[in-house]
């Protein structure tokens, strides 16, 4: 099958990015804020400076980690029919934005701090929309014990969807253990969870090449439990990495290699997703410039690096709005996002994002889902076969004649070509005020009607008790 794919790097450039990463890991090393993790790396061949908390990683360790890292696995859902296999072939799996701290309330229009109740409501909306393949923990619970917000977000999300859940925070080894315990409750036990991981977790290095204590110790616990770790480099060119695209590519790739080594030394064979949410800094704010050309180029190049290592990837974004109100941000944002997605990322994130990913909007989520349903038409698979090439038909028609009534045309008239969904195109063509109003109607309709299959009797109370016990330990 043929399908559209954008390409940025040639093989020599891929080899150069890898070679510089190996040089960096060997000579500069990675800063690791955990003595136990440093001991683990030293035991497996790293040279460790405990005063500087730096581990220098030889090429042999990187190769060993890449060899033991599985090339494919499944992100499982509470409903097995919603399991997702990675890598994908043509279309990526799509998810929302994550860990936003604000919500655009669809009932009042207020833009405010997000709460545990908002997580439940937005998750239920996303569970109903088939364009979204699995769920990130999209919002931060501002109304719970701060150091326990991750378990709260995972638990509430898992209660309100039967899709796979990808957590966006794990603040410590204990935090990770609680999340594992909660998911194991639903899975039927820790071995069952390891066989069918119902959640995965984003773990972010701090660019450049810094792995802070809490998240790296959480990563080790997750890897041991068989929970897929997503090593999301958040390289910010000009702020936390060199400004040129080449420098950002190398930093993001090197941070992923360092993270893969940590996971595989902790638990050989642990599932791992190569990941990046990187881009140049916005010259006015120093935040990542999500609308830049370079953001798309990084998505393509890093997808190629993941493919080089034969690893699944999450390196592209799909948020199409430009402010707090539901919108489609002109022509360049959709073009840039789609170009990056076509690089081959297996997972794409960003649906529902507003305010540079600091907020989530129900209405923007609907707009993004409609945009994705239209954009993915460009990525559908095309079969190249002798039958579809139709050389026999060409010979029968002859020079200068037409195919209008030939059986070959009639045979493929339905099912071969892609036709636009006029309803979705009409929706996306509305002016901004009409778009927001229509999106709000869709949100309200879904929220009125959609119900999520509840957990088995008693599990809700058990999960709440696990979180309460963890909160008590933090306050004690």
CA distance 388 to 411: 10
Going from the C-alpha of 393 to that of each of 387, 405, 406, 413, the distances in angstroms are 9, 11, 8, 15
Tens of pLDDT, residues 140-168 = 999 999 999 999 999 999 999 999 999 99
What is the DSSP secondary structure assignment for residue 114, as one 8-state letter? Answer: -
How many whole angstroms separate alpha carbon 413 and alpha carbon 254? 49
> Measured in Å, how far apart are the chain's first and last C-alpha atoms?
59
Q: Which string of b and e fits 366-402 if b means at least 16 CB within 10 Å?
A: bbbbbbbbbbbeeeeeeeeeeeeebeeeeeebeeeee
Residue 138: the pLDDT is: 97
Q: What is the pTM of this model?
A: 0.96
Which CATH number applies to 67-379: 3.40.50.10330, 3.20.20.480, 3.40.50.2300, 1.20.1530.20?
Answer: 3.20.20.480
pLDDT of residue 50: 98
Cα 226 from Cα 166, distance rounded (Å): 14
Q: What angle do CA 225, 228, 234 make, to 5 degrees?
A: 130
Burial of residue 271 (number of CB atoms within 10 Å: 0-12, 13-18, 19+): buried
Count CA within 13 A, CB hemisphere, residue 250: 18
pLDDT confidence of residue 322: 79
| CA 342/CA 336 separation, integer angstroms | 10
User: Which one-letter DSSP state was computed for residue 104?
Assistant: E
Per-residue model confidence as pLDDT tens digits over 393-450: 999 999 999 999 999 999 998 889 999 999 999 999 999 999 999 999 999 999 999 9
Q: Which two tokens stand for residue 60?
A: 């042999």
Residue ranges of the domains in the chain?
11-66, 67-379
Task: Name the 3-class secondary structure at 103.
Answer: strand
Name the helix (H) or strand (E) containing 49: strand 47-49
Q: Collect the ranges in the chain with pLDDT lower than 50.
A: none
CA angle 309, 313, 319 (to 5 degrees): 155
Dihedral through CA 139, CA 144, CA 147, CA 153, nearest 10? -40
């Amino acid at each position: 099958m043929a399908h559209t794919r954008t390409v940025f790097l040639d093989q020599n450039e891929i080899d150069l990015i890898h070679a510089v990463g190996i040089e960096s890991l060997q000579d500069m090393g990675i800063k690791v804020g955990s003595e136990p993790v440093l001991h683990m790396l030293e035991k497996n061949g790293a040279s460790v400076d405990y005063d500087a908390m730096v581990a220098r990683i030889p090429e042999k360790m990187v190769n060993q980690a890449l060899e033991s890292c599985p090339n494919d696995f499944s992100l499982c859902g509470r409903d097995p029919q919603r399991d997702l296999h990675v890598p994908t072939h043509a279309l990526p799996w799509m998810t929302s934005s994550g860990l936003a701290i604000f919500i655009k309330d669809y009932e009042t229009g207020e833009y405010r701090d997000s709460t545990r109740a908002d997580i439940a409501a937005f998750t239920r909306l996303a569970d109903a929309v088939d364009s979204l393949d699995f769920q990130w923990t999209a919002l931060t619970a501002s109304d719970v014990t701060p150091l326990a917000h991750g378990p709260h977000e995972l638990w509430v999300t898992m209660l309100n969807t039967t899709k796979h859940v990808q957590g966006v925070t794990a603040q410590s080894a204990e935090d990770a253990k609680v999340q594992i315990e909660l998911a194991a409750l639903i899975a039927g036990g820790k071995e069952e969870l390891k066989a069918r991981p119902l959640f995965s977790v984003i773990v972010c290095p701090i660019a450049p090449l810094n792995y802070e204590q809490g998240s790296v110790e959480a990563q080790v616990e997750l890897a041991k439990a068989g929970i897929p770790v997503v090593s999301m480099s958040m390289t910010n060119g000009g702020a936390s990495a060199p400004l040129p695209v080449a420098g950002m590519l190398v930093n993001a790739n090197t941070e992923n290699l360092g993270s893969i080594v940590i996971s595989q030394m902790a638990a050989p064979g642990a599932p791992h997703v190569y990941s990046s949410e990187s881009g140049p800094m916005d010259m006015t704010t120093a935040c990542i410039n999500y609308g830049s050309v370079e953001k798309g180029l990084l998505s393509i190049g890093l997808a190629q690096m993941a493919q080089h290592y034969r690893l699944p990837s999450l390196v592209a974004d799909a948020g199409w709005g430009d402010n707090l109100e539901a919108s489609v941000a002109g022509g360049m944002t959709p073009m840039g996002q789609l170009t990056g997605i076509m690089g081959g990322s297996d997972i794409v994130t960003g649906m529902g994002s507003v305010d540079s990913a600091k907020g989530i909007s129900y209405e923007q989520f609907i707009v993004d889902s409609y945009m994705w349903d239209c954009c993915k038409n460009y990525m559908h698979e095309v079969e190249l076969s002798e039958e579809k090439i139709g050389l026999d038909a060409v010979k029968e028609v002859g020079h200068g004649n037409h195919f209008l009534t030939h059986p070959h045309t009639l045979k493929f008239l339905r099912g071969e070509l892609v036709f636009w969904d006029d309803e979705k195109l009409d929706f996306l063509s509305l002016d901004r005020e009409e778009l927001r109003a229509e999106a709000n109607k869709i949100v309200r309709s879904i929220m009125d009607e959609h119900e999520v299959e509840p957990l088995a009797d008693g599990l809700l109370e058990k999960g709440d008790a696990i979180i309460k016990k963890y909160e008590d330990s933090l306050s004690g």
